[in-house]
Amino acid sequence: MDRRTYLGAVAATAGAFSAGCLGRGTQNTALGKPEDQGADSEDLPYPAFGEEFPESTLPDPLRNRTVTTSDFEGERVVLMTFIYTRCPDGICPALTQVLRHAQADAIENGYEGEAAFLATTFDVERDTAEVLREYGEAQGVDYEAENWHFLRPESEERAREVVTDTYGVEYERIDPSELKGDHSGHDMGEYAFDHYPITYLVNREGYVERAYAGVPETSRVVEDFSAVAEG
User: Does residue 114 surpass a pLDDT of 80?
Assistant: yes
Mean pLDDT of 161-180: 88
pLDDT of residue 71: 95
Confirm if 198 and 82 have CB atoms less than 8 A apart: yes
pLDDT of residue 37: 61
Phi, psi of 127 (to 5 degrees): -85, 75
**In this predicted model, what pLDDT tens digit does every residue of 65-90 receive, in sequence order?**
999 999 999 999 999 999 999 998 78
pLDDT confidence bin for 14, thresholds 50/70/90 = very low
| 92 labelled ligand-binding | yes
pLDDT of residue 190: 81
pLDDT confidence bin for 15, thresholds 50/70/90 = very low
| 87 labelled ligand-binding | yes
Q: Where are the domains of the chain?
A: 3-230
Q: From CA 37, how far away is CA 49, in angstroms rounded? A: 9
Please return the burial class of 181, using the count of CB atoms within 10 Å of its CB with bins 0-12, 13-18 and 19+: exposed
pLDDT of residue 20: 45
Helix (H), strand (E) counts: the chain: 5, 9
Mean pLDDT of 44-63: 96
pLDDT confidence bin for 206, thresholds 50/70/90 = very high
| 195 labelled ligand-binding | yes
Mean pLDDT of 37-48: 85
Domain 3-230 indexed as CATH 3.40.30.10: yes
DSSP 3-state helix, strand, coil percentages of the chain (rounded to 5)?
35, 20, 45
What percent of the chain stands above pLDDT 70? 82
pLDDT of residue 121: 98
User: Does residue 172 surpass a pLDDT of 80?
Assistant: yes
Query: For the sheet containing 77-83, what is the strand order?
Result: 148-151, 115-121, 77-83, 198-202, 208-213
User: Does residue 18 surpass a pLDDT of 50?
Assistant: no
User: Does residue 175 surpass a pLDDT of 90?
Assistant: no
